[in-house]
Amino acid sequence: MPTVKFAIPKGSIEEATFKILEQAWQSISGRGRTYRVKLSDPEIEVKVLRPQEIPTYVQEGFYDVGITGKDWVREAKADITTLLDLEYGKVKQVIAVPESFAVEDLTGLIEEFAAKKKPLRISSEYLTTTSAHFKSNQAYQKHFGKLDPMIITPWLRVGENKNVQIFLSFGATEAKPPEDVDAIFDITETGTTLGQNNLKIIDVVMESSAVVVANRGALRNTKKREKISDMIALLRGVVEARKKLHIFVNVKKENLDHLLKNMPALKKPTISELSEQGWYGVNTIIDKNEFIKLVPMMRKIAQGLVVMEPRQILPLDEINLEEHA
């Protein structure tokens, strides 16, 4: 079996990524001491990289599989396949301006600066996404047609439209306005940091989360595809387990039907007779958001409730990755 090369992200989603890997593979070693870590599966070779790099490196075949953010997949315009949303690292990509600005949306921002014939300056780590989003705005098209905004970095200037300038940010983007730029294109979880820096959101561009991506060539390799299918099954098992609770409860025979009718289950619950005559044990998986609704009913008719958070829930159905190749 050929080794599958797996790139995982350093930075803001690093901690959450290690947690999901530990749940999926039971053990992980080398963390914190090296950029190369080991899972319990010797056929998977893991390296820690910046999430910005992972989509391109997976596209080029340096790695077969990677975990990165949807935002960086879009920024890189990478020709890769997204296999699974891991449902953590959730952020919003937004445009924000100083609270003192009278504008309330992107169209108003573009119109105001165009009317004043004043260059609009934006700071962002997402250069291509920022450029594409501004170009898609009708006010931009009205004033500047199909011209590309000017992208400015320490080593590169591209784009013809000097009236909309996008400056590469190396971090602390929210600190740039109003002295250095007029607006920012950045990510936020709650908007709190933006508010603390006297900024307001005028546009939500997209929502992002951590995803598993794969190289199309790797998926065309039969042996690698099998291993990647196993990886997705394990990771999906963790994602699903985080939404569920495993409960064990004892109930008298006369209350059993009432309990079963009111207990939503992932599959049909397991029911077993207890050593005490007239009592049954019920074992099932339920959605976490259903649990609080069930407590009042179970408190009245059941005993010995045990609640556990499952480590993984593996349906073990066939995962067909050929269609993604």
Task: Find the range with the poorest average confidence among 6-10, 107-111, 260-264.
Answer: 260-264
**Band (163; pLDDT cuts 50, 70, 90):** very high
pLDDT tens sequence across 124-157: 999 999 999 999 999 999 999 999 999 999 999 9
Reply yes or no on whether the pLDDT at 67 is more than 80.
Answer: yes
DSSP letter string, 56-92: HHHHTTS-SEEEEEHHHHHHHT---EEEEE---S-EE
Alpha helices in the chain (DSSP H): 14-25, 54-59, 70-76, 106-115, 127-135, 138-144, 192-196, 216-220, 222-241, 253-261, 288-301
Reply yes or no on whether the pLDDT at 62 is more than 80.
Answer: yes
The reply to whether omega before 178 is within 30° of 0 (cis) is yes
**Band (110; pLDDT cuts 50, 70, 90):** very high
- What is residue 248's three-state secondary structure? strand
Q: Which residue has the tokens 């989360």?
A: 209
Reply yes or no on whether the pLDDT at 32 is more than 90.
Answer: no
| Residue closest to 64 by CA, chosen among 240, 235, 229, 234 | 229
Mean pLDDT, all residues of the chain: 92
Reply yes or no on whether the pLDDT at 54 is more than 80.
Answer: yes
pLDDT tens sequence across 78-107: 999 999 999 999 999 999 999 999 999 999
Question: Distance between CA 203 and CA 206 in Å, rounded?
Answer: 9
Reply yes or no on whether the pLDDT at 266 is more than 70.
Answer: no
Q: Are 44 and 3 in contact (CB under 8 A)?
A: yes
The token pair at 232 is 């997705």
Question: Distance between CA 125 and CA 70 in Å, rounded?
Answer: 14
Domains of the chain: 4-89+209-241 (3.40.190.10), 92-208 (3.40.190.10), 244-308 (3.30.70.120)
How many percent of the chain have pLDDT more than 90? 76
Question: Distance between CA 139 and CA 109 in Å, rounded?
Answer: 9
- pTM for the full predicted model: 0.90
